[in-house]
Structure 1
Amino acid sequence: MSKVSADDFYILTANAQADEHQRVLKHGETFGVFDSHGDIRPTGLAEEGLYHEGTRFLSRYQLLIGRARPLFLSSMVKEDNAILAVDLTNPDIGRNGDLKIARGAVHIHRTKFLVEGFCYERLTFSNYSLEPVRLPLMLHADCDFADVFEVRGQVRARRGAILAPRATANGVILSYEGLDMVVRRSEVSVVPPPARTDGSTMRFELSLERGKQAFFDVTVGCASRAGRVRAPRLPRALADARKRVQAERSRQCLVETSSEPFNHWLRRSRSDLSMMATETPEGPFPYAGVPWFSAPFGRDALITALETLWCDPALSRGVLAHLAATQATTDDPIREAQPGKILHEARLGEMAALAEIPFGRYYGTVDATPLFVVLAGEYLARTEDLAFIESIWPNVQAALAWLDRSCRPYLSYLAKAKGLVNQGWKDSGD
């Protein structure tokens, strides 16, 4: 009787599909939508990408072993929302029909995080096989530099010019010259550098002895101004990100109960709110949501501030200060601005700069102005911070004057040609 070994039933594995849920990171004006592998792929709804100031700066970012995706093991965004951690392994790698490296020989750990204007990633390769391995690696980056409204489906009559990729000593630079005369750049840098770069594909040859590890640090810088992108090195950037999370936690009220599931829900809510809070010159301001609403929205921020005033009054102060600084002072029918009105929405990006959309700074909301007055009163009652209220008192008076002019006897609105049809709490058209 012939012997039977496990090798007789070995099934070659190269399919990387497993968990296709999206993973989201955000810091400041920068956010990323990744797949479960930590990649950005132009598939499905094609909303994955690295975005900064209303523009997509990476529309494709894939790690490949040869031409195959690594096999998925697990991935998660840490509870503080600061880090995306992904675990992968190699597929079966063969040559001329022979198996050279069996699946699972090399473990791949991806640690990804954002600092405003930058995406950082550390790739850790660990050889758990009994033999040395050589892996051909590819890191493919590409970008369409689409405005976030284009990604949402809006079709533009004209676009700017995507420039040819430019190889550097450590990676590649992708560029786009917009119709607003701004040159936007994605600068991808890898340490150690690629063996060669073909177009926007960086190629590496990884040789790894048994039991050994190798590391690659990847930095993607998003630039919309002239000059070189200067990024802190990954270890320092990671340390700064952790300090930032700790500082945000220390500002907030800590609530503990006897129910651990309820405590987890509270921690998750606190982390989500911290991620959405964006530092403006006037203080923290909660953006409305990732991916399509990662921008200041007056109504959303005011309601969020009212709901969290008891535990985080600093957030309410930031909301009041920013909305006071952006309060309308003149009549502008296109932006639906009137003296005293409070902001509905503000957008960055090429389409906003060219007024292809009215939302660069848009005031088409009927309820943000009264909510601003309500929050100012509630903030004073909660904090007794009279000095701050005195500093924004002219803005409160301007808001009250707008309310007096607009009530007949109820608040009403008339939609403009390019603005929102519905300007109450549910402003969608459905």
Structure 2
Amino acid sequence: MAESVTAKVQNTMKAALRGFQDADEVLPPYHIEAQTSLTERPLRALKYGESFAVLDSYGDIGVQPGPEGLYFQDTRYLSRLEFTVEGQRPLMLSSVMQDDNGALSVDMTTPDIRLDAHDGTTIPREVIAIERTKFLFKGACYDRIGLRSYDSRHRTLRIAVTFDADYRDLFEVRGTDRPRRGRRAVQVASETEVQFRYVGLDEIVRTTALHFGPTPKTLEPGKAVFEVSLPPGGRASLFVRVVFESHRAFISAPSAEQVGEDAAAKLSLAAGSSGGGLRHPKGLSEGTIFARAYRDGRRDLRALCAGITTIISSNDQFNEGACRATADLYMLASRTPEGIYPFAGIPWYSTVFGRDGIITAMMALWIDPNFAKGVLRYLASTQAKAVDPAADAQPGKVLHETRRGEMAMLGEVPFRHYYGTIDGTPLFVMLAWEYYAVTGDRETIARIWPALELALAWMNEYGDRDGDGFVEYARDTDKGLENQGWKDSHDSIFHTDGQLAKGPIALCEVQGYVYAAKNGMAKLAAMLGHDALAERLTHEARTLREAFDAAFWNEEIGTYALALDGAKKQCAVRSSNAGHALFTGIALPERAAKVAEQLLSKDGFNGWGVRTIARGEARYNPMSYHNGSIWPHDNAMIAMGLARYDLKQEAARIFQGMFETSLYQDQKRLPELFCGFMRRRQRGPVSYPVACSPQAWAAAAPFAFLAACLGLEIDHARNRVRFRNPILPPFLDGISIFNLKLGGSRLDLKLHRLADDVTVSVLRRTGDAQVSMVK
């Protein structure tokens, strides 16, 4: 069947391409432009709260064009920071993120340096060791450059730090042009401090202060020069502390509207993470300030991830990847008044995204349910309360993203508080049930119950625009996103001939999310004593499942259609979206094997993972963002769906491909996505040029893969941990799970493969939770 479909598509492809090629030549709004690839050189990411830094492997910023910078609230507060010795970059020895992502550590040495071209005076390379440490903490970026001489002669070195602050909005860095900008100024404030100040068109004053220690020999608006004396065996340290903050230019009595806006804005601030670190505490050296911040930052990070579930496997490489994934999750986590929230990814999406946060929390639920709790409470508190076409908002709809940069504040981009996501609202309700099933946290469910009811009302009223029982989307203004599912590229929803679908569009996976949401909401309603509501929702879910199969199943392509367009015509395209129908359980049992067959066919599975769009479809492009690429989180959700229908071998095959993908990645970190080219012998997967790394839902994916293959079920109501028909992929002989939580119980478990079987042993148990295995 796949070959005949492919042949048919290829026969019509040229004619179809002529029909839409011209329209595709215009860059869509909010496109991420790329003149250089993020994969050309290793980049390092640091994050704390609403600030993050993208650095090159030296720890420098802006030496080459790209997204490097120090950012706070979607604005680049530092666009250049380069360290040189006698006018030259040091020689790189190693550049590593510490295991917990708490700091970047760089080891370097001096190159061969010609001090005097006339008499031949030189400093030979490798006689001065340089160790650099950088981290972010509470409104400041800390940078220590340590030098140690292994030379037999006394040396005096000129060390320069060149710097600048351009205050570009993140959307400008991504490629959006702006006709007007605010006013920038710079001054040398003291012999150890330079201040940059930018007054934006939004009347926000953004400042960057660079503090140096010890006192530089010369200090200019864009350069500090130190003279360092190193006797044989001598040591020296230089410190650069970058403090960033923002405040309103004019203070006036707030209107009622402003009070509401400020209250909403506060929810996006991580507690303790706003700008404005200590400028220069009286009597303290920069070295002491650095040491105290480093100590406090480590304590803060340990507190954030204290008590989580951890895993150790028989495979050291998987252990390394799992350690990095855990560290990424907690680096991306930001504290809000409602709990921790995983920001989506660095560099483009380091902010709250509703869909991303929900899916990340789902996949990490058994590792740490606090992610789910924070996400649920935050999204409930920011749920839309009124119709706002500019924000694609209607009452009950869940937030898509929030931005704090100048362009968002001015409305140049619509993302200040933007609700243009069709799937966030049902996913929100799905997560509520899954969180309760694992934790039994009735208090949180009762607290967000009004928001869950509003979300349900939105699905039935605003979500179902034509009353046909399906939830569909269409943007309210031409500034909103054209496509509002997780595949939100302008060209991601199309027909067999390649023509873009016209809305309102009902996506395959969204109907599954609605189905699961209504089933979950029914169980929550029954728990709270709302029996009539529970009965009605159960009936609605059953009816939706039948209607979905009738409308979306396509026998010719052997799977569920990608979507229905505004005329209820199928977009009969083979896509990974159909795997989400397995994830949510809306797929009929008799369809599951066929869906799996398509997903894991040569057109769907490239050897590393399942493509977003199958090879041979009209708009298939393995280098595209959504039309043939491979996303780890998408594959993890598919694997969870396969496991739901007891297709564990298929789930393990995807897990195997993703593990092998991680072996080729810097720091064994799964990226946001990579290209869908067919796997070739003795070659790794092909990178996507502007993929975020780290990305929250990619970081959570390994834990979802593992839970899927193990058939892990945590059931608070039954006080039971169950493994349903567990298997282990070929690269794992065993796995140990420590501190698995169920109510007041804590469990340490070991699963081991014996031939084709898997056994489970309880290593430690506190409390009365039961452990069982079902085959």
> Could you state the TM-score of these two structures normalised by the residue count of structure 2?
0.52
Work out whether residues 136 and 205 of structure 1, in 8 Å CA contact, stay in contact via their aligned partners in 2: yes
Work out whether residues 131 and 146 of structure 2, in 8 Å CA contact, stay in contact via their aligned partners in 1: yes
Q: Does structure 1 residue 43 correspond to structure 2 residue 104?
A: no
Partners of 2:59 and 2:362 in 1: how far apart? 36
Task: Tell me which of 164, 184, 189 is aligned to 2:211.
Answer: 189
Superimposed CA distance per residue, residues 56-114 of structure 1 (whole angstroms, 9 cap, x where no aligned partner): 01110011113211222211111211110111111222213313311222111100111
Query: How big is the shift at 1:173?
Result: 0.9
Aligned partner of residue 319 in structure 1, secondary structure: helix
* Map of 2:225 onto structure 1: 203
Q: Does structure 1 residue 394 correspond to structure 2 residue 450?
A: yes
Amino acid at match of 2:225: R
* Map of 2:11 onto structure 1: none
Unaligned runs of 5+ in 2: 1-39, 249-274, 282-288, 492-775
Query: How big is the shift at 1:151?
Result: 0.1
Work out whether residues 212 and 238 of structure 2, in 8 Å CA contact, stay in contact via their aligned partners in 1: yes
Q: Which has the higher helix share?
A: 2
Query: How big is the shift at 1:272?
Result: 1.0
Work out whether residues 340 and 401 of structure 1, in 8 Å CA contact, stay in contact via their aligned partners in 2: yes
* Map of 1:351 onto structure 2: 407
Q: Which moved more, 1:53-62 or 1:100-109?
A: 100-109
Q: Does structure 1 residue 33 correspond to structure 2 residue 64?
A: no
* Map of 1:84 onto structure 2: 104
Q: Where do residues 58-207 of structure 1 align in structure 2 (5 Å cutoff)? A: 58-93=78-113, 94-97=115-118, 98-207=120-229
Superimposed CA distance per residue, residues 386-421 of structure 1 (whole angstroms, 9 cap, x where no aligned partner): 111111111111111111102221011112210000
Task: Tell me which of 323, 346, 368 is aligned to 1:267.
Answer: 323
Partners of 1:371 and 1:63 in 2: how far apart? 46
Query: How big is the shift at 1:195?
Result: 1.7
Partners of 2:242 and 2:175 in 1: how far apart? 26
* Map of 1:385 onto structure 2: 441
Superimposed CA distance per residue, residues 27-70 of structure 1 (whole angstroms, 9 cap, x where no aligned partner): 111111111111112523x2111111110011100111132112
* Map of 1:313 onto structure 2: 369
Partners of 2:340 and 2:105 in 1: how far apart? 27
Task: Tell me which of 411, 424, 430 is aligned to 2:471.
Answer: 411
Task: Tell me which of 489, 494, 513 is aligned to 1:428.
Answer: 489
Partners of 1:327 and 1:58 in 2: how far apart? 33
Q: Does structure 1 residue 223 correspond to structure 2 residue 245?
A: yes
Q: Which has the larger radius of gyration?
A: 2
* Map of 1:3 onto structure 2: none
Work out whether residues 429 and 455 of structure 2, in 8 Å CA contact, stay in contact via their aligned partners in 1: yes
Amino acid at match of 1:418: K
Superimposed CA distance per residue, residues 338-377 of structure 1 (whole angstroms, 9 cap, x where no aligned partner): 0000000111111111111100010001010001111111
* Map of 2:344 onto structure 1: 288
Partners of 1:116 and 1:281 in 2: how far apart? 16
Partners of 1:374 and 1:128 in 2: how far apart? 61
Amino acid at match of 1:111: T
Partners of 1:167 and 1:428 in 2: how far apart? 46
Partners of 2:327 and 2:276 in 1: how far apart? 33
Work out whether residues 165 and 200 of structure 1, in 8 Å CA contact, stay in contact via their aligned partners in 2: no
Partners of 2:148 and 2:41 in 1: how far apart? 24
Amino acid at match of 2:474: L
Partners of 1:34 and 1:264 in 2: how far apart? 22
Partners of 2:364 and 2:214 in 1: how far apart? 45
Work out whether residues 110 and 128 of structure 2, in 8 Å CA contact, stay in contact via their aligned partners in 1: yes
* Structure 1 residues 193 and 20: alpha-carbon distance in aligned structure 2, compared to 1, 3 A threshold: farther
Partners of 1:363 and 1:251 in 2: how far apart? 34
* Structure 1 residues 229 and 166: alpha-carbon distance in aligned structure 2, compared to 1, 3 A threshold: farther
Amino acid at match of 2:333: A
Query: How big is the shift at 1:259?
Result: 2.4
Work out whether residues 194 and 202 of structure 1, in 8 Å CA contact, stay in contact via their aligned partners in 2: yes
Runs (4+) of structure 1 exceeding 6 A deviation are none
Work out whether residues 29 and 116 of structure 1, in 8 Å CA contact, stay in contact via their aligned partners in 2: no
Partners of 1:380 and 1:22 in 2: how far apart? 39
Amino acid at match of 1:146: R
Q: Which moved more, 1:231-240 or 1:76-85?
A: 231-240
Query: How big is the shift at 1:260?
Result: 2.1
Work out whether residues 167 and 197 of structure 1, in 8 Å CA contact, stay in contact via their aligned partners in 2: no
Query: How big is the shift at 1:255?
Result: 1.5
Amino acid at match of 1:73: L
Query: How big is the shift at 1:20?
Result: 3.6
Q: Which moved more, 1:225-234 or 1:52-61?
A: 225-234
Work out whether residues 171 and 193 of structure 1, in 8 Å CA contact, stay in contact via their aligned partners in 2: no
Partners of 2:305 and 2:315 in 1: how far apart? 21
* Map of 2:358 onto structure 1: 302
Amino acid at match of 1:317: K
Work out whether residues 80 and 268 of structure 1, in 8 Å CA contact, stay in contact via their aligned partners in 2: yes
Query: How big is the shift at 1:143?
Result: 1.1
Superimposed CA distance per residue, residues 267-294 of structure 1 (whole angstroms, 9 cap, x where no aligned partner): 1111111111111111111111100010
Task: Tell me which of 328, 332, 335 is aligned to 1:276.
Answer: 332
Q: Which moved more, 1:405-414 or 1:246-255?
A: 246-255
Aligned partner of residue 348 in structure 1, secondary structure: coil
Amino acid at match of 2:194: V
Q: Where do residues 364-379 of structure 1 align in structure 2 (5 Å cutoff)? A: 364-379=420-435
Partners of 1:265 and 1:96 in 2: how far apart? 49
Aligned length: 411
Query: How big is the shift at 1:229?
Result: 4.7
Superimposed CA distance per residue, residues 149-170 of structure 1 (whole angstroms, 9 cap, x where no aligned partner): 0000000110011113334231
Superimposed CA distance per residue, residues 227-267 of structure 1 (whole angstroms, 9 cap, x where no aligned partner): 97525711111011111222233232111223222222221
Task: Tell me which of 32, 42, 64 is aligned to 1:21.
Answer: 42
Aligned partner of residue 313 in structure 2, secondary structure: coil
Q: Which has the higher strand share?
A: 1
Partners of 1:369 and 1:289 in 2: how far apart? 21
Amino acid at match of 1:159: R
Amino acid at match of 1:25: L
Partners of 1:112 and 1:290 in 2: how far apart? 17
Query: How big is the shift at 1:429?
Result: 2.1
Work out whether residues 92 and 99 of structure 1, in 8 Å CA contact, stay in contact via their aligned partners in 2: no
Query: How big is the shift at 1:134?
Result: 0.4
Partners of 2:295 and 2:111 in 1: how far apart? 33
Partners of 1:327 and 1:166 in 2: how far apart? 45
Superimposed CA distance per residue, residues 165-205 of structure 1 (whole angstroms, 9 cap, x where no aligned partner): 33423121111111111121111101212122122201111
Amino acid at match of 1:128: Y
Partners of 2:77 and 2:445 in 1: how far apart? 40
Aligned partner of residue 125 in structure 1, secondary structure: strand
Query: How big is the shift at 1:225?
Result: 2.3
Unaligned runs of 5+ in 1: 1-18
